[in-house]
Amino acid sequence: MLARAIIFLPVVLASGIIAQLDSGNYLAQIIGQVGQDMESNYSGLRSIELRPLLLEAGMSRDAVDYLSGAVDRIYQIITLSGVQILIFLAGLQSISPSLYEAAKIEGATGYEAFWKITFPMITPLILTNTIYTIIDSFYNNGVTGMIQDAAFVQLNFGVSSAMSWAYFITISIILSVSAYLITRRVHYND
């Protein structure tokens, strides 16, 4: 329970929804500032020492750049993946321990138990998390900003409506293709 609270706390503190509820609200401004401060302070796990260590170990520069970038953005990564982590935790806890006991009695290794029990049982959650992540990635970007600007700044509601429909159709196509590709491999336990 404590691990869930620790993982989900950055999601709550830096929530874009909470920070954007009312831009005139002083509390929303404080919450948004706390999220930005925590991101800048706790990315203090900077990769300053990590980069030379990995380069001396013989890793390629691309791999070192990728790993050091991930360390620099650890707070942002946790903030964006908190909901998905909670969904996976709930799914893992819903798997019956009797399945693992039966597999152990039959002589299955941990590797086999993962690929034959755990992974098939969480495939519906992989689909759910993929769809959630795709939708979340389209939430706040330049296109939504252009749509809002056309509607509420330029007061051009027709253009904004057309842009919204085109954006909706694009996202629907991406979601349909992704869901189709993943659904073929989803195992539903009846």
**Residue 166 three-state SS:** helix
Q: Considering the chain, what is the average pLDDT of its residues?
A: 80
Residue 10 has pLDDT above 70, yes or no: no
Cβ density class 56-77: b for 16+ within 10 Å, e for less: eeeeeeeebeeebeebbebbee
Higher pLDDT, 33 or 168: 168
**pLDDT tens-digit readout, 38-55:** 545 444 445 567 778 888
Cβ-proximal residues to 123 (8 Å cutoff; 6+ apart), any chain: 185, 186, 187
Cβ contact 163:146 at 8 Å:
yes
**pLDDT tens-digit readout, 146-185:** 888 888 888 889 999 999 999 999 999 999 999 999 998 8
Cβ contact 82:8 at 8 Å:
yes
Domain boundaries, the chain: 1-94, 111-190
**pLDDT tens-digit readout, 101-157:** 999 999 999 999 999 999 999 999 999 999 999 988 887 788 888 888 888 888 889
- The pLDDT of residue 123: 92
